[in-house]
Amino acid sequence: MDDCGSHTGGCLCGRVTYKIKSKLKNIVACHCKQCRVWSGHIWASTACPIDKLSITSNVESLSWYISSDHARRGFCNKCGSSLFWQQTINGEQANYYAIAAGSLHEPINLDLDRHIFCKFKGAYYAIDSSEQQDQTY
Ligand SMILES: [Zn+2]
Ligand SMILES: [Zn+2]
């Protein structure tokens, strides 16, 4: 799909806004328990290199929660919107952000690419069998 390479987004209350100067990856839906609790259902995200994303308002409203040795999660500390996920590798932050698909300003020309951590999905919903499901975890 066509991706213009320039995007904006933000949280529910509008205190945290961001700009991305990069083409975005298609959307991955994560069904792991941490993502389900954090997002309220499943965590659907795109991704970009960290140097392509800038916070364009109220950087003090963005807080990070260290959710495990493997990742931290960025959110608005006023309205609680889940915004970013960043992997931690051997104590270092990875050089890309996963970005909440729902926080991007419309329109976005992205498709759902695949589902991950499917075996940890909730029992109350089904994953469309026509969509790719990563079976490695
Ligand atoms: Zn907010
Ligand atoms: Zn997850």
Residue-wise pLDDT tens digits, 18-55? 999 999 999 999 999 999 999 999 999 999 999 999 99
User: Which amino acid belongs to residue 41?
Assistant: H
Indicate whether 78 belongs to any domain. no
Host domain of residue 111: 7-60+97-120
Distance 93 CA to ligand 1 centre (A): 23
- Answer whether residue 2 is part of any domain: no
Distance 105 CA to ligand 1 centre (A): 14
CA atoms of 137 and 116, how far apart (whole Å): 7
* Other CB atoms within 10 A of residue 104 CB: 20
pLDDT tens, residue by residue, 80-125 = 999 999 999 999 999 999 999 999 999 889 999 999 999 999 999 9
Asked if residue 87 belongs to a domain, the reply is no
Distance 2 CA to ligand 2 centre (A): 27
Q: Is residue 24 part of a domain?
A: yes
17 falls within a domain? yes
Residue 19 is assigned to a structural domain of this protein: yes
Q: Is residue 33 part of a domain?
A: yes
Q: What is the pLDDT of residue 111?
A: 94
Task: Say which ligand is closest to the CA of 117.
Answer: 2
Which pTM value belongs to this model?
0.92
Question: Environment class of residue 3 by beta-carbon count within 10 Å: exposed (0-12), middle (13-18) or buried (19+)?
Answer: middle
